[in-house]
Structure 1
Amino acid sequence: MSEAVTTKPYKRKRKKTFLSNARKYAKRGYYGRGSHMDADTYQYFVRILEVFKQGFENDEEKEIFVGNVFEQTENKEIDCSCNQVGCRVIEMLLPFANDHVIQRFITKFNEDIRPLSKDRFASFVLQTLVRISATKFFDTNTIVEQKENYKSFCIKTSKFLLNNLEDYIWDNFGNRIIRTCLCSLMQVPEEENIIKPLEDIKCEAGLEIPDEFIEIVQEYGQRLIVWPQFNELCNLELTSGFLQVLLRVLKKADSKLLKAYLEKLLSGCFVSDTVDQENSKNLPPGFMSKSLLMLVETFIQVAGKKMFKKNLETMFKGRMLKLALLKSTHFSVQKVMKFCNNKEQFDPLFDELCDHLGEIIQKGYSSVVLALAQSCQRLSTKQGTFIQSLIKALNCSDCEEYFAISCCRLLPYDKQNMPSNDGLQKEKLSLQGSLLLQTMLNFNKPIKIVNSLLSMDTNDLKGLFSNPMGSHIVDSYVKATYVGEKSREKLARKMQGTYQELAASKYGSRSFEAIWSVANMKAKLHIMEELSNKDGSWSNSEHGKIIAAKINLALYKRNKENWKTSFNKGLNVTKVLEDILN
């Protein structure tokens, strides 16, 4: 008889960090790619990475540390920047360096910017310098003389790249520097994850962008829109990313030029004359490649009302279900719903999807259903229809009392597959399902959701409220505008007999606090009586101690009247503070 083959669950291999790789290669005698670095300097930079990762006790200690590191780079700024490990250290520490150090690096990079802007390592330092220079220029704490130096560097770098645009736009490193320049000039956030530049930066409210910065951005836009290779720019991932940045900065710099870009993209790139606009089975070219698709999504974000409407009618109307069921395009559907700004735009799109929520959930794209619900809430439309459609999709039409738990699991109701009380607490519920329930609780008429929750078995509800996902549902329940006071009182009464267990668990204690925050004095006294009469071991648990301190359990046990008096005083102080603040 052959032995049963046991398969171990797949564990994703943890990716090695930059620091661990740096140590490994040093042992083999490799001291970073790029420019040569001797063993001692390399090991010094590796130690810098280690120390910085560990953190500092205070800002003064960090300032001294950063100053000491940059002393070691004096007259070696370029060599260090062109080395893999040296580049990482400099890029990491420059945001915390003083003006003297930053100006020193700017001077060195200005001497020969052409090769550095295409260098695989130094280009990242150049990006950081541009980002910091722009931030420093807009910082109200920067002295006037330094402001002009930073402004000059931003303009010089941006114009150099503009004058050599044909070379740099196709280059991986140069292209990304241009993106940083554009975002920095217009103070538009970069989408990439970057180290937060400079601490304690203070910028003026209603930031005023210099005309020189706006003119540079406009010149980039004017030059590229007439390029013969414009369609090629849209179809390559690198240059499509650049155009996405350009669209976002043009929204701030030149709305007329932005509109010209959107018209050109919509008529020349996103749709095709060969696509039958009335046939929902055919998708326009804008949905057929990742590069174009990302441009479509940026289009949705930056378009004005007229262009947004035109885009909806040209690309999305009649195709919403097909797009919602495709892995590559369901994000676009979410974005469209998020940026719909009136019922007239949203309602026809909703009608295309509302009868197919089950298909969308089954396909695994429940975030589309969540985006639909959030738009219903935001625009105050189709809320009742959405709830009924979701009830039907989750097979709860004849058993609406199970709707809440089916929604949290985002699985159709199946009596044979319902979790036990303990199982519900430990079960990995759906994040989108929990958020859906929270969103529907904020609808204008959330009575079906309220009734479904209140009709649950008390122990099931305790399990749900003690779940990492489910615990947030209580917050929405007690804070929702259209959940009435009587419904909140019913929940407080419903949970009687479970408060000890709720208060003792990590997520249950969150739910306890939410219920406690809205309970009236009568309900609070019932809760306190329950907690004080039962076995007190709950109050010795990690989370129970916190709850016991917040509700002043010790005073209640000693003297109930004193507890009520002190509690009422606290309420009166809170009310006075609210009146003053409001």
Structure 2
Amino acid sequence: MEETEETNNHDISAKRYKRKRKKTFLKNARKYAKKGWYGRGSQLDAETYQYFVRILEVYREGFENDDDKKIFVNNVFQQTENEEVKCSCNQVGCRVVEMLLPFANDSVVERYMNAFSEELRPLCADRLASHVLEALLGECCKRSLDKDTKDDVKEKFKGYTLKISKFLLNNLEDYVWDVYGNHIIRSVFRNLAQLPNVDRKEVKNKSKEVTAELIEIPNDYAEVLQDYGERLLAWPQFKELPYSELTSAMLQILLRALSKCNTKILKKYIKKILDECFCTDSDPNNSFTRCQKLFKSTAATMLVETMMEIASPKHYTQIYAKCFKGHVCDLARTKSTSFSVQKLLTYCKEKVEFEEMFEELKGFDPIISAGNSGVILALAEGCKRFATKQGLFVQNISSGFHCESEDKQTDLLICLCKFVNYGLLQELNIQNYEKEKFNLHGTLIVQHILEFNKPIKFVNAILGMDTADLKGLFSNTMGSHLVDSYMTSKFIGEKSREKLIRKLQGTYQDLASTKYGSRSFEAIWNACNMKFKINIMDELVYKDAAWSNTEHGKIIASKINLVLYKRNKEEWKSSLNNVNKLKELTDLLQ
């Protein structure tokens, strides 16, 4: 009966999980086609709609090479000739065009430029075609800056980029408060300033972001951004902009763009937003009263976070003094405002200011009780960055988690990893550290503490753990990263590292054979001298088939050259010394 009940519960959970899963765009497109609904927006005939659905299917399957992809894209755009606007105003057609436009040749992009120019005003506010217009603007701007593009072609793309940008500038009142027009304005800022696309869910390639940062912004583009900046700065409704999600997001991107090309106007924005939008109460001596409206609005708090990120040290000080000073602790305790405090601490540029904030926050109890682990993490990062208040931070952590006494050092380590106080930890009664779910912020805090100037309390906590528990902690998905900090911290002595290496003897086979344990093993191995490496190898060669044939064990066995060690120990030593010498030489050259 119990098994049946458990099975039923499992089935119910599985069904609930399935219900929560959203259908993909492609599945919905097929489903609506069967019902005779051919997408939202402009109506396509059944044949054209089904053609676009097949395009989505083929694209999802991928291509063998770039040439096949190029032929495929050209064929698709041939089918949309003279129907560019109609296809872009259909739900499925819009998705296909937006998806393939970055791979289209210059003549296709030019065709879409001409087609959209004829009906620009309605298309800017169209819920579907506006997405294609954003993609088109991005492609034109990118190709206008491409060094490999011919000058006459670059001028065409540049001209169209400026045309769209200036059209929206001249009709700013119509589109700032329109959802779709507002997003195109954001695209204008992002493309003219060559900012990475922060609105996209896809993770951008970091090298592409760096490249974007290095591209010089043409004077024509910088002038348009300046015009936007001056125009919005003079708006009668300027005070309303930070408090709407739509316009706050637009201002955030504009400020980032101005930080790249016009810091003079950026300073004016920061001053005006602070004085006229955020600090509006008549009482000049009470910053919290003056800024209550700011911290009650999610849109406004996100704007102030962006301002702190891009502000100069002088303007950061003004933001801190006018919006936060004297009330950092109150804001840190509240869930909705704690993230702003994290940003405040993260972007702090002066040691004196950080120390002031620390003094306000030094009673960690209410912050820990509220579960705002990110604030404590930001404090730990600041203590490490400025090399200040580190001893006081550890004291406050100990009292905050109710682990002040010396015999609770190990408990404090686990309390932090779980981010629960001592009483709750005792109730949890953890048996298997390897499978335990730890708190990300908590484990990161421990890593920072291990890199403090005097991390002895946490060093002793790790060395004082039971070997089986320590092996489990170092085999945990988050716990495995603690070894990196322990082995690389310049404030943890060689003797402490050796103690850990010796303490883990007898566990190296188990560590090497698991996914996260093998990470820990590698960190320990890289920090070992030859004597300890030989000891570890002697342990590993005993019944090595048990671990070296596992998925992760094979990788470790290859890295430490287990086969050579078993065949010839002296030759293995010689090869290892050569590798170490090469590594030292590489480090010197860098």
TM-score (norm 1): 0.93
CA deviations on 1:325-372 (whole Å, 9 max, x unpaired) are: 2222111111111111011111111111121x2321221210111111
Q: Name the CA shift for 1:300/1:569 in 2 (closer, same or farther; >3 Å).
A: closer
Q: Residue 335 of structure 1 aligns with which residue?
A: 343
CA deviations on 1:402-434 (whole Å, 9 max, x unpaired) are: 32222111122247346555x111011111111
- Residues matched between the structures, number: 577
Moved more, 25-34 or 209-218: 209-218
Moved more, 258-267 or 458-467: 258-267
**Of the candidates 146, 149, 161, which is equivalent to residue 168 of structure 2?**
161
Determine if the alignment matches structure 1 residue 241 to structure 2 residue 249.
yes
**Of the candidates 332, 351, 367, which is equivalent to residue 360 of structure 1?**
367
Q: Residue 553 of structure 1 aligns with which residue?
A: 562
SS at match of 1:381: coil
Q: Residue 293 of structure 1 aligns with which residue?
A: 301
**Of the candidates 392, 413, 433, which is equivalent to residue 422 of structure 2?**
413
Distance 2:241 2:86 in 1: 34
Q: Residue 510 of structure 1 aligns with which residue?
A: 519
CA deviations on 1:425-451 (whole Å, 9 max, x unpaired) are: 101111111111112222222222222
C-alpha contact (below 8 Å) 1:96/1:197 kept by paired residues = no
Q: Residue 181 of structure 1 aligns with which residue?
A: 188
C-alpha contact (below 8 Å) 1:102/1:129 kept by paired residues = yes
Q: Residue 521 of structure 1 aligns with which residue?
A: 530
Distance 1:517 1:139 in 2: 44
CA deviations on 1:25-78 (whole Å, 9 max, x unpaired) are: 111111111111111211111122122222223322222222222222122111
Q: Residue 274 of structure 2 aligns with which residue?
A: 266
- 1:455 CA displacement: 1.4
- 1:303 CA displacement: 2.2
C-alpha contact (below 8 Å) 2:73/2:104 kept by paired residues = yes
CA deviations on 1:486-527 (whole Å, 9 max, x unpaired) are: 222222111101001111111111111110111111101111
**Of the candidates 510, 522, 540, which is equivalent to residue 501 of structure 1?**
510
Moved more, 341-350 or 483-492: 483-492
Show the 5 A alignment for 1:90-129. Answer: 90-129=97-136
- 1:555 CA displacement: 2.2
Letter in 2 for 1:255: T
Q: Residue 235 of structure 2 aligns with which residue?
A: 227
C-alpha contact (below 8 Å) 2:233/2:269 kept by paired residues = yes
**Of the candidates 55, 62, 65, which is equivalent to residue 55 of structure 1?**
62
Distance 2:507 2:357 in 1: 44
Moved more, 303-312 or 20-29: 303-312
Q: Name the CA shift for 1:44/1:250 in 2 (closer, same or farther; >3 Å).
A: same
C-alpha contact (below 8 Å) 2:287/2:322 kept by paired residues = no
Show the 5 A alignment for 1:529-568. Answer: 529-534=538-543, 536-568=545-577
CA deviations on 1:181-216 (whole Å, 9 max, x unpaired) are: 111111122320167999998969843222221111
Letter in 1 for 2:554: K
**Of the candidates 150, 156, 174, which is equivalent to residue 149 of structure 1?**
156
SS at match of 1:329: helix
Q: Residue 477 of structure 1 aligns with which residue?
A: 486
SS at match of 2:433: helix
Moved more, 456-465 or 536-545: 536-545
Q: Name the CA shift for 1:15/1:540 in 2 (closer, same or farther; >3 Å).
A: same
C-alpha contact (below 8 Å) 1:95/1:197 kept by paired residues = no
**Of the candidates 447, 451, 461, which is equivalent to residue 456 of structure 2?**
447
CA deviations on 1:280-309 (whole Å, 9 max, x unpaired) are: 588532112122222222221232222221
Distance 2:299 2:67 in 1: 46
CA deviations on 1:451-482 (whole Å, 9 max, x unpaired) are: 21111111111000000011111112212232
Q: Name the CA shift for 1:403/1:342 in 2 (closer, same or farther; >3 Å).
A: same
**Of the candidates 460, 466, 478, which is equivalent to residue 469 of structure 2?**
460
C-alpha contact (below 8 Å) 1:275/1:284 kept by paired residues = no
Show the 5 A alignment for 1:57-72. Answer: 57-72=64-79
Q: Name the CA shift for 1:206/1:240 in 2 (closer, same or farther; >3 Å).
A: closer
Show the 5 A alignment for 1:207-218. Answer: 207-218=215-226
Q: Name the CA shift for 1:459/1:196 in 2 (closer, same or farther; >3 Å).
A: closer
**Overall identity of the aligned pairs, in %:** 51
Q: Residue 377 of structure 2 aligns with which residue?
A: 370
Moved more, 24-33 or 395-404: 395-404
Letter in 2 for 1:363: A
Distance 1:199 1:75 in 2: 38
- 1:224 CA displacement: 1.7
Letter in 2 for 1:346: F
Distance 1:313 1:200 in 2: 37
Distance 1:197 1:394 in 2: 39
C-alpha contact (below 8 Å) 1:73/1:80 kept by paired residues = yes
Q: Residue 259 of structure 2 aligns with which residue?
A: 251
SS at match of 1:328: helix
Distance 1:412 1:159 in 2: 58
C-alpha contact (below 8 Å) 1:538/1:544 kept by paired residues = yes
Letter in 1 for 2:318: K
Structure 1: gaps of 5 or more residues: none
Distance 2:242 2:567 in 1: 74
Distance 1:204 1:499 in 2: 45
Q: Residue 30 of structure 2 aligns with which residue?
A: 23
C-alpha contact (below 8 Å) 2:475/2:520 kept by paired residues = yes
Distance 2:90 2:75 in 1: 19
- 1:142 CA displacement: 1.7
**Of the candidates 420, 425, 431, which is equivalent to residue 434 of structure 2?**
425
Q: Name the CA shift for 1:535/1:31 in 2 (closer, same or farther; >3 Å).
A: same
Moved more, 321-330 or 529-538: 529-538
C-alpha contact (below 8 Å) 2:514/2:552 kept by paired residues = yes
C-alpha contact (below 8 Å) 2:56/2:96 kept by paired residues = yes
C-alpha contact (below 8 Å) 1:92/1:195 kept by paired residues = no
Distance 1:127 1:199 in 2: 22
Considering only aligned residues, what root-mean-square deviation do their CA atoms show, in Å?
A: 2.5
Distance 2:75 2:474 in 1: 52
